[in-house]
Structure formats: structure tokens, C-alpha cells
Amino acid sequence: MCYHFYQSYRNQRAAKAKYTLAIKTGREKMDDVIVVGGGPIGSYTAYLLADSGFQVSLFEEDEEVGKNVICTGIIGKEPFERFNLPEKAILSQIKSVTFFSPSLIALNFTFPDVIAYVVDRTVFDKELLRRAKEKGTGVQLGRHVQSIRICEDFAELEVSGRDLKKKERAKVIVLATGGNYSLQRSVRLAEVPGFLYGAQMETEMKELTQTEIYLGRQICPGSFAWAVPLSGLRSRIGVLVKNKGGLYLKRFVEERLRERVREKNVKILQKRIAYGPLKRTVKHRVLVVGEAAGQVKTTTGGGISYGLLCSEIAVEVLKKAFEKRDLSERKLADYDRLWRKKLEGELRMGHLARRFFEKLSDKHIDKIFSFIQKNRKVAKAIEEKFDFDHHSGIISFGMNLFRKII
């Protein structure tokens, strides 16, 4: 029974007892869960599921994970420890950040302890996948999932790879496809409401001992640009904008870092980043996690920690749904409700902050910087309120303060 007939079928059965999970597909074996996507969120979800005793497969379209990733790789210390993330992927630590206003007024914030780590995404992604595999996940690389068919008793994927085209069935599908939304569309889950664009280069930069953030309409309208030290002289330099990422990044390097970045014609890589979550992140026998669900900070575009948190919630909900033998959309909606309870307020505040910030002129930003520079107490309060992964506290504080200053 295809998706199109599913709605009327569900209505007919609404009054009846719970779903029987008996598998009448004529196949000998069917996975409990298939995870689509071998990024950090897909691998972590597969790891947790396999660790809980589920029979899990993971399909990843690339032959190797972590190879074509465009990411600065910053992950807060708290989630890093909480999710026991791979230490061997750490390239550097962030303990201090300097912000520069449009006219280069500098504000340095130094924290008592490390606030975040910068990782090598190739090592990071590979290690998370290895852990999932070690727990028993059947990993299939070089397998592109083309479509999903949702049926009453199972979901079926059409999978293609080198010289291969086949169908795979599972009781539940977890979509962790990052910024690729074609499968969501195929099961009628609307796309994320918008996108930002991240453009980045990796090169040598002189005198970069701590993370630097640059603001200003010329450099990065309504948003920010960054330079993050890795190891030795290596650095990641990037911008987060609404469009023309490459253009803004070139301008940023030319206007702000010319004396410190010597390498010419450095390759610029760009990628769109989800801005705002999907309206709904579950369907009958389907859950969406990570960037695929738009679980990305609306302030910075960071998606790893929120995605990992939502993986945990998804797995807890799935455990209960399997126990109750109920994999209906209604039951899986617990996931949708629970992750929104944790993160939706943050996403909304980030959006408000961005709208507020977009209206500020360079003069306004300079004025705010001068004010904080002269008021040590305010700078101290900012340091104390700063939380790497939850920005709503500092946003409320900042917006109230800035309204008084400008």
C-alpha cells in the first residue's frame, strides 16, 4: 500500500486496535531501522540504536565519510563530553574569542576554561561511523537512497550504487541526510523554511592565536565572519551570509586579513545551511534528525550539538514505540514534541536576534562595542552569561542592553 493510499487507510483503522508489527512481506529478514546518511548525526543515531539492541543498517551515498565536508568543526565542550565525542579528532581548543567591530574596535572575552573544541571532520565522522559499526550497524557505503515508499507494515527504500539497484525494507527509516531534502519531499515533509550560506577556506594565517569574529555590513551583512586557528599556522576562515558567500569571503580576506594571509587563490568551499526546522519531523515509520530536520542553530549555523541531542531523543522515542508495537505517526510525534520542547525556544530567539542584528548599521555596532569596551562590568556579565550552545540568555541580555545604547 503506497503512501498516497495510506491516509485513507489510516482513517479506516483509527478506531481499531494498535498496529500489528507482524511482517508479511515475504522476506526473511528486515531491519528494525535503516538510517539514511553517514554524517555525524546518522552515525550517532545508528550507534545508539545498535547499542540498544536494534537491528540497524546505515546507507551512505559517498564511498567514504567525512571527505567532502564543509564545516569549521567547532563543538562546545559540554556536548563534546556529554556525547563522548572522539578526542582524537580535536585540532585545537577555544578558550578566548576576540570580536571586531566594523571600525575594528576589539573586544576580547577570555573564559576560565575551554568553551569549545575544533575538530577534523574527516577523523570525527569516520570515528563515529566506526563506533556505529562496532555496535553491529550494517554499514553500506556508496549507496544512494533514491526514494521511500511508506507502507502500513514497513517502509521501503529504493537504493542505487555502483552497478546496483535494489529495494530495502525496514520497520522504521531515520533520515539523516544533512542538506539534501529530496527524501523528505518524497514523503511529503515540507522543506526547511530557509537557508543561510557558509563559505570557507583553509589556509595559513599569521598571528592567529585565538578565534576572531568580525562584524560589519561590508564584510558580512547581518551576520559574521570568522578566523579559527587549527594547529601550527593553519586556520579556517569563513563567512555566514544570506547569499554570495564566496564573494563576501574574498572581500573579508582582502579587507581584513590581507597582511596575515599570504597564500593566493585558496580554494573556497560553500554550502547552504538550514535556517529553521521542518514543520514536522515525523511520518508513519519515518523520523528526521540533524540538519535534515533543520536542527541547526539559527545564530551561528552550527548543527552538530543540536543534531546529537535530537538523535538521543529520537532513539528514546523509538525504544518506547517498538515496545508498544506502535510505529504510527501519532506515536512517533513524541519525538517531534520533545525535541521542540528542548530547542524551539533557542531557534526562535536566534531568529529574533538575527532580525534585530540585520537592522543595525555599522555605526550602531561600533557604538555598542565602544560602550562595552568602556564598561568592564558589562563585559564581565557577557562572559558570565555566555553559553556556547544555548544563546537565548545572552540574546535577551544583549538586546535589552543594545536598545538602550543605540
Ligand X SMILES: Cc1cc2nc3c(=O)[nH]c(=O)nc-3n(C[C@H](O)[C@H](O)[C@H](O)COP(=O)(O)OP(=O)(O)OC[C@H]3O[C@@H](n4cnc5c(N)ncnc54)[C@H](O)[C@@H]3O)c2cc1C
Site string for ligand X, 78-117 (x = CB under 6 A): ----------------------------------------
One-letter amino acid for residue 106 of the chain: A
What's the count of helices (H) and strands (E) in the chain, helices before strands? 11, 18
Distant-in-sequence, close-in-space partners of 346: CB < 8 Å, separation ≥ 6? 297, 298, 390, 391, 392
Is 302 or 369 the residue whose CB approaches ligand X more closely? Answer: 302
Least distance between ligand X and beta carbon 383 (Å): 21
Inter-helix orientation angle 392-405/362-374, to 10°: 100
Site residues for ligand X, 171-230, by CB under 6 A, read 176-180, 183, 198, 200
Least Cβ distance, residue 330 to ligand X (angstroms):
25
Q: In the set 49, 91, 128, 145, which binds ligand X (CB under 6 A)? A: 145
User: Which residue, 179 or 398, has its beta carbon nearer to ligand X?
Assistant: 179
Q: Which stretch binds ligand X (CB under 6 A): 15-23, 37-45, 313-321, 398-406?
A: 37-45
**Do residues 295 and 303 touch, judged by C-beta distance below 8 A?**
yes
Of 46, 173, 296, 318, the one binding ligand X by CB under 6 A: 296
Question: Is residue 308 within a helix (H) or strand (E), and if so which, with residue range?
Answer: helix 304-323
Closest contact distance (angstroms) between CB of 272 and ligand X is 7
Beta strands of 275-372 (E only): which ranges?
282-283, 286-288
Of 33, 279, 58, nearest to 154 (Cα)? 33
Query: What is the nearest approach in angstroms of ligand X to the Cβ of residue 395?
Result: 18
Q: Which of 6, 39, 124, 398 binds ligand X (CB under 6 A)?
A: 39
Q: Which is nearer to ligand X, 171 or 236 (CB)?
A: 236
# binding residues, ligand X (CB under 6 A): 41
Residue 41 binding ligand X, by CB under 6 A = yes
The position carrying cell 594571509 is 261
Element (H, E) at 168: strand 164-175
Q: Mask of contacts with ligand X, 234-263, x by CB under 6 A?
A: ----x-------------------------
Give Cα 175 distance to the centre of its chain.
13
Residue 88 per-residue DSSP state: G
Phi, psi of 255, rounded to the nearest 5 degrees:
-90, -25
CA distance 320 to 334: 10
Contacting positions for ligand X (CB under 6 A): 36-42, 59-62, 65, 70-75, 144-145, 176-180, 183, 198, 200, 238, 271, 273, 290-292, 296, 301-305, 307
